[in-house]
Chain A
């Protein structure tokens, strides 16, 4: 069975601190896809990144970076120099692909960035 675990329910940091959100996944598939979504208080789920199982290259986008490690089944997300606008719930998700690409979500991590 597929499963995504986000052990951190809530994280609170002060602006400009770095913060890492953890994501651990379980799957028996050899091909799979991992995602991060941001959900601000307005409610919309905003796509941040997709990573394929065969591509373990880490990625950096501005203040955001992602560390994908198949050996530990983890796909962690780091925000550098956090800002108040980063305050949101962050969801990690897993998919095996296929025609309909069903997403398995983690329970989310609420990040509060204090000014």
Chain B
């Protein structure tokens, strides 16, 4: 089945230690998104890629970076995680193009910062 995969599902890191979260998709979608979701809150868009074009949200901290080496994969790098970065990180994809398309989400990676 075509799907969005996130690895790992649970990640524990230490304060200040860089961490990378992974997302892959078999939908061949043009657009890939990264969201941060803290407890009891709605998902918050960090950035997205349309093909290779990177689009950062204005309020996304510089501590968060992303890479998309090819259509299938997208990575979220947190350069120096703080306690406030503990959250669920959700990856989503959509086809992109005219009109709109549904965003399909992966299962998420729950990040704990010690």
Contact = CB atoms under 8 A, between A and B. Distances in A.
Interface residues of A, number: 24
A97 B100 contact: yes
Contacts of B94: 100-101
B61 interface: no
B41 to A, nearest CB: 7
Contact of A100 (B42, B48, B104, B106): B48
A105 interface: yes
Interface in A18-63: 33, 35, 37, 42-47, 50
Contacts of A102: 45, 48
A107 interface: yes
B50 A45 contact: no
Interface string A85-104: 00000010001111111110
A43 B90 CA distance: 9
Interface of B: 31, 40-43, 45, 48, 50, 55, 88, 90, 92, 94, 96-97, 99-108, 110
